[in-house]
Structure 1
Amino acid sequence: CASRNPRWARDYHTVQMPKEVRKARYFSRREKLSAPELLSAIISRRDYYTDAWWMVAVATTPDAPYSLEQLQDGLRHPVFPLYLGRKSHPLALPLAPLLLEGNASDTLRNAYQQYQDHFRKLKVSLPKLQDECWWEGEHDGLVASKILRRRDVPLNRQQWLFGERTVNQGPWLSKEEPCTSQE
């Protein structure tokens, strides 16, 4: 789940590339950079969310290499600095990993309330989350309104082959209907 109206930060990155030479074939980055007289700089642009926040849920599997407690501890005390894409974009808020049990919908609702309370105490107002979330697999309480196919599972790095995975998209916070009975 992600915040509704994120703001973007733009970052520029310069890269040295050789000018186009017809019939020239480069088999490595070293070959591309071997003729300094042909080098020129190009600028690439990257955009990052600056005021967005995500609520991420992880479920345990029988063959998981790490327990949920180990993941929680690793997020609380990371070995390396955490950042978004590049070191110039560190996290703006501290991580607040929780261990919760229950079906997916109730657990997300419970976590959202706990995060709101936690950050309210720190005097940080969190933007409202989107009504939609994305997940893999089947989870009680979550019903997909869209099914997306992503071809991003690495199968063979040498041949640059990727397999497909399925991502579900749907509402995470079901709105409760008002009671209309006389009882």
Structure 2
Amino acid sequence: MQPFLIFGLSASLGAMGELAGHERRGALDWPGRSAILGLMGAALGIRREGDFAALDALDVSVAIFEAGAPLRDYHTIETVPTAAAKRPNSRPEALRDARGRTNTTITLRDYRAGVFYGVAVQGEGLEPLCEALKKPHFTLYLGRKSCPLSAPPGAKLVQAETPEHALAHLSAPPWLCARGVPVARTLVEGATKGEVVHDRPVDRKLWHFAPRMVARRAVEIVLEAAP
């Protein structure tokens, strides 16, 4: 038996980013490591330029209860040609200096609608992290600021042999239970071989992420309604 911190992530809209290019920002069907570490950092009150060393050392597993439906949003963005920029101090200043020489492009942003995930965390410092998730310092989002959580995470500490055994103690939001007993059949965790995702934070200021291996493991995690 070992200690686990478990909590749930439910949202009407979630943005689980993968490789983000200029014209398209895709979405995984589960929250990547960078998203979960960022959410826990927000709960603790750590800003983007802060020290994430303790969080980076944690092991994280994610159970997919509701992967939701894919949703694509279309944005138009105005960009300034390099020749027109002239070292501005801000984007508004660059747009003013460009004087009609801007370019407009369409970008695609992918989301998942109606999601619920269970997260199991192993490592040091779980108790203060659990308390922070109960009373977060900053608002918790599932990816982008347009994706607030639809229910409190319900963080708790449990003793279990494996992440899936730990997540069996998770409480589901009542509206999910109204549709039937929530069941997860896939657990995503770090692995030595499997599929490659780019969700390991390297430079949070520059939004640089390194690849890592993850494996999808078949499980059956049955939850009960929240008390």
* Same topology, TM > 0.5: yes
Q: Does 1:107 align with 2:166?
A: yes
Higher relative contact order (CA 8 A, sep 6+): 2
Q: Does 1:69 align with 2:123?
A: no
User: Which one of the candidate residues 77, 82, 101 is aligned to 2:140?
Assistant: 82
Counterparts in 2 of 1:73 and 1:86: CA distance versus 1, 3 Å: same
Matched residues, percent identical? 27
Cross-structure match for 1:15: 77
TM-score w.r.t. structure 1 length? Answer: 0.62
The 3-state SS of whatever aligns with 2:168 is helix
The 3-state SS of whatever aligns with 1:57 is strand
Give the Cα–Cα distance (whole angstroms) in 1 for the partners of residues 105 and 159 of structure 2.
Answer: 50
The 3-state SS of whatever aligns with 1:72 is helix
Cross-structure match for 1:37: 100
Letter in 1 for 2:114: D
Matches within 5 A, 1:14-163: 14-18=76-80, 33=95, 34-60=97-123, 64=124, 67-104=125-162, 105-111=164-170, 115-116=171-172, 119-120=173-174, 125=179, 128-136=182-190, 147-154=194-201, 163=210
Q: Is the 8 A contact 1:148 1:167 kept in 2?
A: yes
Q: Is the 8 A contact 1:52 1:127 kept in 2?
A: no
Cross-structure match for 2:220: 173
Q: Is the 8 A contact 1:152 1:165 kept in 2?
A: yes
| Number of aligned positions between the proteins | 155
Structure 2, unpaired ranges of 5+: 1-62, 223-227
Counterparts in 2 of 1:172 and 1:78: CA distance versus 1, 3 Å: same
Q: Is the 8 A contact 2:168 2:221 kept in 1?
A: no
Q: Does 1:3 align with 2:57?
A: no
Q: Is the 8 A contact 2:68 2:114 kept in 1?
A: yes
Over the aligned positions, Cα root-mean-square deviation in angstroms equals: 3.9
Cross-structure match for 2:55: none
Give the Cα–Cα distance (whole angstroms) in 2 for the partners of residues 173 and 9 of structure 1.
Answer: 27
Q: Is the 8 A contact 1:11 1:47 kept in 2?
A: yes
Could you say which structure has the higher strand fraction? 2
Post-superposition shift, 1:2? 1.8
